[in-house]
Amino acid sequence: MLLNNKWIQIASFVAFTTCIADFNNRYDVGSQGQEDKLIEPIEVGQVFSPYENNRVEKILSNFSKYDIPIEEKKVESKNTVSKPNPRLSEEFQNKQKGALSQLFIGDYSYRPIGVFDSQEKFALLEQRHLTNRKTKRIKIVEGQQIENYSVIAIELNSIKIAADKREVSLRLFEIKPKAKKK
């Protein structure tokens, strides 16, 4: 229906002839003039720039200091002896007594988290390994053993633990008496 229009036919013919002429100009079908269309080989180190060669060389010379390969630094291994944790010593652990915020037993430290009184009174302690820092929570009740310590009493703000003749009170918080008003 559109091709029946005279003006569309003329426009299509002009576009087609223009395309054919463009194709002939871009590609040489014959063998004449073939040598003129060969591209010259490009050198590998050749730089294409709109600037003069001496200006390009000056710019590239500024960056030549960065072309030096980086030398790897040798890391000397020092045989450092780590200091032993004084809290791991048996002497320190045998001297623990009185009101403490945490208790050291063997390779672990125990810190009170909370006291609960539901059907039975129990407490939660955070058990932390002193060398690898891994923690877990443990539930304790009165009469339970932790290593050579036994849980004597669980009170509102403290947990009483004893070993041999020493008694330790792990305090959750400090209750201070109210100041008297003057």
Domain count, the chain: 1
Q: Is residue 136 part of a domain?
A: yes
Average pLDDT over the chain reads: 79
- Which band of pLDDT confidence, cut at 50, 70 and 90, is reported for residue 79? low
- Could you give the C-alpha distances from 110 to 63, 101, 129, 151, 168, in angstroms and in order? 61, 9, 9, 13, 12
- CA separation for the pair 52, 65 (Å, rounded): 22
Q: Is residue 38 part of a domain?
A: no
pTM above 0.85, yes or no: no
Q: Is residue 33 part of a domain?
A: no
Range with lowest mean pLDDT among 64-73, 115-124, 165-174: 64-73
What pLDDT, on a 0 to 100 scale, did the predictor assign at position 178? 77
Q: Report which listed range, 30-34, 44-48, 128-132, is most confident.
A: 128-132
Q: Is residue 20 part of a domain?
A: no
HSE, CB side, 13 Å, CA atoms: give it for residue 48.
3
Residue type, 9: Q
Q: 111: Cβ–Cβ under 8 A, 6 or more apart, which residues? A: 101, 102, 103, 125, 126, 128, 170
Phi-psi region of 59 (alpha: psi -120 to 50; beta: other; left: phi over 0): alpha
Q: Is residue 34 part of a domain?
A: no
Q: Is residue 24 part of a domain?
A: no
Q: Is residue 159 part of a domain?
A: yes
Q: Is residue 26 part of a domain?
A: no
In terms of residue numbers, what domain contains 109?
Answer: 88-171
